[in-house]
Amino acid sequence: MLKPDQKLVIHFFEQIDKLNGKMGHAVLRYSRNPITCAIDFSHSGSSTRDLLDFGPDVPVLASVDEAVRAGGEVLVLGMAPSGGRLPPEMIAEVDKAVAVGMSVINGLHEHLGSRYPDLADGQWIWDIRREPQDLGIAWARAAGLQNRRALLVGTDMAVGKMTAGLEIWQAALKQNIRADFLATGQIGILITGKGIPLDAIRVDYACGAVEKMVMEAGDAELALVEGQGSIVHPGSSSTLPLMRGSCPTHLVLCHRAGLTHLDTV
């Protein structure tokens, strides 16, 4: 799948300066792969640093063709359309990219792999939000581990649970702590190359999927479990499987300063 030297193109579909561009924003901020350019129709001609105050400064182009000419190899769908569905105009862009030989990273619930049965050698479609195989039920086995397990929780969605976890992970590694970041969402999985897309897992298997991942990381002195959802949002059901699957020894509560009411869906 994704190799460390493959050059990414982040397609923002006009969300580069909006909250819905958060997948692309996180790739800009944290991916270790080289990033060739971004694509955003409404901002072509500018560069990412004209629009964002983080990440590398790369050009914002107007089309997949331009991105390929610039050396892009892997198209990352960098935005989250409302409801998780891919509108036809976005699919048309992916069609173009696949036709010219690009690989594709798709973090949305709607999968693309079956759309492209005839890929070239080395070309791939990575639908990150696929339920893993061979999941079972959880049985609080993580409680028997001797390591520290810090679960990131948040008062709202999109309040920095992943970002805080990644920052703690990096800081721990710098201190020679044998730390691991256990991704539970599409962005974290893209950045670290492993993990589980918790929100795409059926309720029956949610705790078991978390437990399996935490058990497999049992050698890490500090396992940082990426959180999902919110401890108080009525639309979020991730907190319970995360708690039960990881049996955390520590919780890190993320809150946006000044936030007094739920802000997001």
Q: Which residues bind its own copies (CB under 8 A)?
A: 83-84, 109, 131, 136-140, 198-204, 206-208, 211, 228, 234-241, 244-245, 247, 265
CB nearer its own copies, residue 35 or residue 201: 201
User: Which amino acid is located at 58 in the chain?
Assistant: V
Q: How far apart are CA 11 and CA 1, in angstroms?
A: 19
Shortest distance in whole angstroms from residue 153 CB to its own copies = 13
Q: How far apart are CA 17 and CA 25, in angstroms?
A: 9
Shortest distance in whole angstroms from residue 143 CB to its own copies = 8
By DSSP bridging, strand 103-106 and strand 148-154 are unpaired
CB nearer its own copies, residue 112 or residue 209: 209
CB nearer its own copies, residue 180 or residue 211: 211
CB nearer its own copies, residue 177 or residue 231: 231
Q: What is the largest CA-CA distance in the chain?
A: 55
Classify burial at 118, counting beta carbons within 10 Å of its beta carbon; exposed 0-12, middle 13-18, buried 19 or more. exposed
Shortest distance in whole angstroms from residue 162 CB to its own copies = 16
CB nearer its own copies, residue 100 or residue 140: 140
Shortest distance in whole angstroms from residue 261 CB to its own copies = 13
Shortest distance in whole angstroms from residue 145 CB to its own copies = 14
User: Which amino acid is located at 57 in the chain?
Assistant: D
Shortest distance in whole angstroms from residue 99 CB to its own copies = 30
User: Which amino acid is located at 60 in the chain?
Assistant: V
By DSSP bridging, strand 148-154 and strand 222-225 are parallel
The residues near 253 (Cβ < 8 Å, ≥ 6 apart) are: 153, 154, 155, 231
CB nearer its own copies, residue 61 or residue 151: 151
Q: How far apart are CA 251 and CA 227, in angstroms?
A: 10
